[in-house]
Amino acid sequence: MGYEYETIKIQQEDDGVTWLILNRPDKRNAMSPQLHADCNDALYNLATDAKCRVLIVTGAGEAFCAGQDLRLFFRATDNAPRERFEAAENSHHWRWMRLSKFPKPTIAMVNGFCFGGAFTQLIACDLAVAADDAVFGLSEVNWGIIPGGIVSWNVVNAMNSRDAMFYAITGDPFDGKKAAQMGLVNYSVPKNELTEETLKLARKLAAKNPATVRYTKEGVRAVRGMSEAQAADYLAAKSDALRFRDSEKGREEAMKQFLDEKKFRPGLGNYVRDDAK
């Protein structure tokens, strides 16, 4: 199935990898109200599209995303409360409500400029890979605004608090290598290897038991805000739920292959999945 949008491109590979590409390269993929509406719709489609097993979010051209579109998101809606409200709702919805809770693994591939509001989708993704020379910046302080939406909340959760404060109040840019060193992205690679390295990671995830990956990522996210007792109870319930959810019965199958058939050891490779189940 093909998806057509005005401001984003959806590309689907045969191996379960789907690309969501912000596609306003002449505006460095700054996020307009239309882009927010397009992304929102696309994520509803892809969440329920069996062809999408892993989602990579990136940008066309030189930028990952230059943040909110200062002309179309901010200035054009200053005196249009309904349009501003809708744009802000869509903006929050796709980047946080949809993306951070997406039922399949998500990877942000930071190919270039990543500024301001773009940190929300960066951090919403489960994993992130950057080009060594990608340029990140919490530039809001230069615009007389704060890292709003939920950018401040996100950066202080994803970064060491000293780093988050330093980059928020100075607005200093930093590169992909520095982002990796601070743990804001998983790793950085030379620009000419970025697509291949990101695809390698995506394919690794696409090859895993989807229900188990989903419940694992939901569990890891959810327990952060819980006490130890709540986490133990939640994870026990989540484990039980997975037994029902996992149509390929990965637990039983992996044990059979390890204990009885002796054909799988986790340190030496995945258990042999039967995709047809």
Q: Among residues 113 and 215, whose Cβ is nearest to ligand COA?
A: 113
CB 63, min distance to ligand COA, A: 6
Give min distance, CB of 52 to ligand COA, in A: 28
CA distance 157 to 226: 14
The tokens for 54 are 């892993």
Could you tell me the two tokens for 275?
A: 């995709």
H or E segment and range at residue 57:
strand 54-59
Number of H helices, E strands in the chain: 10, 10
Smallest distance from the beta carbon of 32 to ligand COA, in angstroms?
Answer: 8
Q: Which is nearer to ligand COA, 71 or 245 (CB)?
A: 71
Closer of 114 and 211 to ligand COA (Cβ): 114
- Of the pair 74, 234, the CB lying nearest ligand COA is at 74
CB of 65 to ligand COA, least distance (A): 9
Closest by CA position to 221, among listed 125, 131, 77, 150: 125
* Interacting residue ranges for ligand COA, rule: CB under 6 A: 27-28, 30, 62-63, 66-71, 113, 115-116, 139-140, 143
Helix (H, G, I), strand (E, B) or coil at 41: helix
> CA of 135: how far to CAs of 66, 71, 161, 165, 227, in Å?
10, 22, 20, 18, 37
CA distance 105 to 184: 17
Q: Residue 67 Cβ, how far from ligand COA at the closest point, in Å? A: 3
Is the CB of 28 or the CB of 214 nearer to ligand COA?
28
